[in-house]
Amino acid sequence: MSNPVTSAALFALPLVVAGLFWLLTLRERCRAGVGASQGFVHRNGPVIATYLVVAVGFWALFMIVWPLLYMVDYSFHRKLPPSRRGGPADVYTLENYWYFVYGSTRVFTSFNWIHINAFWQTILVSVVITIANFAICYPLAYYMAQVAQPAKLRALLLLLIVPYWVNEILRAFAFLILFGTGGTLNAIMIGLGLIDAPIDFIGANVALYAGLTYAYLLLMIFPLYNAIESLDRNQIEAARDLGAPWWHIHLNVVMPFAKPGIASGCTLVFMLVAGSLAAPLVLGGPKTLWFTPIVYDRFYQAFNWQQGSAYAIILLLTCIAFVMMVMRIFKVSLSEITR
């Protein structure tokens, strides 16, 4: 960044992007011919249009593309003292990826089971939590979208949203209070005489899984609610009139219709659970294996940013591949989700 040319290029880039977009709209308008729907610039006015494009371009570039590219680049480098960076030893290498697999950058005889297990367990548990989330949210979203009266709907929405005004980490601590050995749940169960000694919910990961399930509930409910809400009520009644029992209607009429909503909700929740950090750090027990704290440790305990980057990219790519595969199986396209 100290290089004035680099900084100039950095700040000019968004402007270049804006110019490119502007040219694109021009091209589109020429293609569509006169009298076609108005272009982006024409609809918003030149000042606002430029602002929007620059702001979005700046944001996308500096917050998303640039850091990600840096990470990709980092992940293929060795950890070197600053003095040797850029020197002859600073070559592109797969060492950081080999470390994930074998637990060493040189000896490839035994696998790095701790990290690999944690990785797959994270993916597996994320899948289970996503499914649990769907199971919790679908009935609720259906109720809100098709059954509830407006007054009840407003109350429900408020009840759902208000807890999320509290910070994610504080919410995780609330679960700690709820599930701890001296916590509310144990106190109640002992008080009722259900158990004699407190159960270690934290050690058994119950607290973590419950916390993770709760953390991204809203991101499942709202896409589901939106999708189900646009379903014509008559279709549900028509199916019922034709003799369908309730489960058949949900499976064959409501869910296929709500598929884009289901897909986007599940994608969001899965990605965020697999990548969540606060809940595993706060609610994880001593034996908990979750991948993101390991990535975190690479960065801030081992101070090996290169290795951390490699780990983060492994997680990111696996999650993307997994989501793509599931979408392929359920025949949902990306454009449907973003609709």
Partner 1 sequence: MSADVELDNVTIRFGPFVAVKAATLKIRGGEFFSLLGPSGCGKTTLLRTVSGFLHPSEGSVRIGGEDMSRIEPNKRPTALIFQNLALFPLMSVAENIGYGLRVRGVAKADRLRRAEELLALVALPDQGHKRVSELSGGQRQRVAIARALAVEPKVLLLDEPLSALDLKLRQRMRNELRAIQKRVGITFIYITHDQGEALTMSDRIAVMNAGVIEQVGDGRTIYENPETAFVASFVGENNGFSGKIISLRDGEATIETPQGPLTGRAGHGVAAGQAATIFIRPEALRLARPGETPMLGAQLVTTTFEGNTTHVFLRGAGDKPITVSLGRRDGDDIPASGAEAPLVYERRDGLVLAAPSALA
Q: How far is the CB of 238 from partner 1 (least distance, A)?
A: 4
In the complex, minimum distance from the CB of residue 227 to partner 1, in angstroms, rounded to a whole number: 13
Which range of residues in 13-21, 215-223, 253-261, 267-275 is near partner 1 by CB under 8 A? 253-261
Q: What string of H, E and C letters represents the secondary structure of the chain?
A: CCCHHHHHHHHHHHHHHHHHHHHHHHHHHHHHCCCCCCCHHHHHCHHHHHHHHHHHHHHHHHHHHHHHHHHHHHHCCCCCCHHHCCCCCCCCCCHHHHHHHHCCCCCCCCCCHHHHHHHHHHHHHHHHHHHHHHHHHHHHHHHHHHHCCHHHHHHHHHHHHHHHHCCHHHHHHHHHHHHCCCCHHHHHHHHCCCCCCCCCCCCCCHHHHHHHHHHCHHHHHHHHHHHHHCCCHHHHHHHHHCCCCHHHHHHHHHHHHHHHHHHHHHHHHHHHHHCCCHHHHHHCCCCCCCHHHHHHHHHHCCCCHHHHHHHHHHHHHHHHHHHHHHHHHCCCCHHHHCC
Q: Please select the residue that binds partner 1; options are 181, 245, 324, 330, rule is CB under 8 A.
A: 245
If one asks whether residue 235 binds partner 1 (CB under 8 A), the answer comes out as yes
Shortest Cβ 254–partner 1 spacing (Å): 11
Q: Which of 28, 73, 90, 237 binds partner 1 (CB under 8 A)?
A: 237
The yes or no reply on residue 239 touching partner 1 (CB under 8 A) is yes
**Cβ distance to partner 1 smaller for residue 85 or 248:** 248
Q: Which stretch binds partner 1 (CB under 8 A): 92-100, 151-159, 180-188, 227-235?
A: 227-235
Q: Applying CB under 8 A, does 238 fall inside the site for partner 1?
A: yes
Q: Does 242 bind partner 1 (CB under 8 A)?
A: yes
Selected binder of partner 1 within 43, 85, 154, 248 (CB under 8 A): 248
Chain residues in the site for partner 1 (CB under 8 A): 232, 234-235, 237-245, 248, 252-253, 256-257
